[in-house]
Structures are given as structure tokens and as C-alpha cells.
Amino acid sequence: MVSTMKTIDPHARIFSLSAQDGYPLQATHYPARGDVQGRLIVAGATGVPQRFYSRFARFVAEQGIEVWTLDYRGIGLSRPQRLDELRMDYLDWARLDLSALLDHVLQQGDGPVWMVGHSYGGHAFGLLPAHDRIQRFATFATGAGWHGWMPPLERLRVHFMWHVLGPLIVRTKGYLAWSLLGMGDDLPRDVFYQWRHWCRWPRYFFEDPAMPGLSEKFAQVRTPILAINATDDRWAPPASRDAFMAGYCNAPVQALTIEPRSLGMAGIGHMDYFRPQASGLWQQTLDWLRTGKL
């Protein structure tokens, strides 16, 4: 069952959606202006609420494309009353939550369906049962997560988070209170521990012996992919992107490396792909989704 309510944006609607296992989720629909040319799903990053993507969604909707965003379970409007009691698999965000939104969007009419990912969103695509229903997929800041791909100072910070500060917070609160550190929304404890575990390997969860069949699943993807990473992204530099995107071994993958100054920006990092200053990159990505050409 889907119910709707108005958002601050007069053109958007928040609606309730049940995940594949029945978990209640909150998503947002941005109607296209004018004739509908296609449909776009935004698959967000770890700990990033859907409202962060609202300016990008409005930009796309103004060009005649319907847009949907989603708060994964435990995040944003989909957070339960007691986050410390939520038990889940990190991959549920893709296999159960994002998959339910894709099924909903596929029922909304004809025409092409595209997806844009951010960080985790690039991992999620290969986990979707219906990835073949998406015509093209572009993802920003997707990488393998291994500390070895990061600059030396960032490696130290990440080690401190994984092995000292993070576990201390989780033991105290029952979840990773990332909001206290200004790093995003709070994360369910299971997400923190799985994420930390997979970051032990240069190719992330593809190298986890406890995840049999995962490489084969990603190898089934044939959808064209555009993987965009900035040179100053400390968490997912281009080398990290290349290590992860190798998992999409049978998909036509184009890697686009962005120098922030080429967009007139002092920096992009891991998050500023979705700031208004990057609207030139938004347009380039949207043109690729429509045509398959850069």
C-alpha cells in the first residue's frame, strides 16, 4: 500500500512504501515538468538521507524526467523509534528496500528507467534482482572502501573510526551515532560492523569468503554504467573505483575522472557531487543517461 503527503517542495510528494520483507519505508516522488521523457531513481550513499538529493532531483524533474528518492531502513524518514533495536543486513538496503522502489517505479508507466547512485548506490545496483530493467546507470563516488586506496592521513582517520571511536559509540548507544560527528545520519549497528569487515579487502565484499556467489551475481549485469569519481575524493579515489567496478565485469563500464577545477569548484570530495555548484556535471550525466554518449 502506498500513501502520500506533501513535502516542503510544492512539486514533490513523500509516500510510504513497503520493502520486500514488509519494512515500512519513506520515499519521495518528484513529478516531471511537461511531457515525461523517462524515469530516474536515486540510490543514496550510506548514512545520507534522501533530502540531500532534493536539489539534484528537482534539476532532473525540470527537464521532463520523473524522479524518485528513498530513505533506506534505519535512515532519515525510515528510521524506527529505537534504532538500537534494528537488526538487518547491510545489503538489505539494496535487495529489499531499493528493489521495492524499483518495482514501484516500473509500475508507473512506459518509457526508459535510469538510475543514479552515490557511493553505496553503486554497490546496490549489482544486488538488484531487476537490474536488467534499468536502461543505464550512472554512479558517483563508488569505491571499494579499502583503506589502502586512501591517502595516508585518511587511512589513519579511518582506522581510528573502525577500531576505536566507532566500536566505543556502538557499545554506548547501540548504533553508530554518526550525527554526533557531523558525518551523516546514524547507522544501525549491523551496517557499521559489516561495512568495517568488508573494508579489510582491496576489492571489498568480492573478497569475503563468507559471500559465495556475489561475484557471479555482479557478473550478470549487462547495463551500461558510467562511474564518476573526483580526484580529491579521499574515500573513493579513482583507483578505489576501478577496483570495485571490476566486479561489473560483463557490463560496459565507462570511468569518468573529475578534476574539481574543471567544474569551477575548489573541491568535490566524497559528497559535493550533489551540490548546486556541480550542476554542469549533473547535466553531463543526464545527457549520458539519455543517449549513452559523453
Q: Which domain holds residue 232?
A: 4-146+211-291
Q: How many CA atoms lie within 13 A of 53 on its CB side?
A: 29
Across the chain, mean pLDDT equals 95
pLDDT at 256 over 90: yes
Is there a contact between 197 and 208 (Cβ–Cβ < 8 Å)? Answer: yes
For 171-199, how does the pLDDT look when each residue is reduced to its tens digit (9 = 90+)?
A: 999 999 999 888 889 999 999 999 999 99
Residue 12 lies in a domain: yes
Confidence of residue 137 (pLDDT cuts 50, 70, 90): very high
**Which strand ranges, in their side-by-side order, compose the sheet holding 253-258?**
4-6, 13-18, 24-30, 65-71, 38-43, 113-118, 136-140, 225-230, 253-258
Number of independent structural domains in the chain? 1
Cβ neighbours for 97, distance < 8 A, ≥ 6 positions apart: 19, 20, 23, 25, 70, 72, 73, 78
Average pLDDT over residues 207-212: 95
Average pLDDT over residues 82-87: 97
pLDDT at 5 over 60: no
Residue 59 lies in a domain: yes
Q: Hey, what's the cell of 102? A: 524499483
Residue 186 lies in a domain: no
CATH code for the domain of 112: 3.40.50.1820
Residue 276 confidence (pLDDT):
93
Cβ neighbours for 18, distance < 8 A, ≥ 6 positions apart: 1, 24, 25, 100
For 231-255, how does the pLDDT look when each residue is reduced to its tens digit (9 = 90+)?
A: 999 999 999 999 999 999 999 999 9
Helices 166-173 and 189-198: crossing angle in degrees, nearest 10, is: 160
Residue 288 confidence (pLDDT):
98
Confidence of residue 2 (pLDDT cuts 50, 70, 90): very low
pLDDT at 3 over 70: no
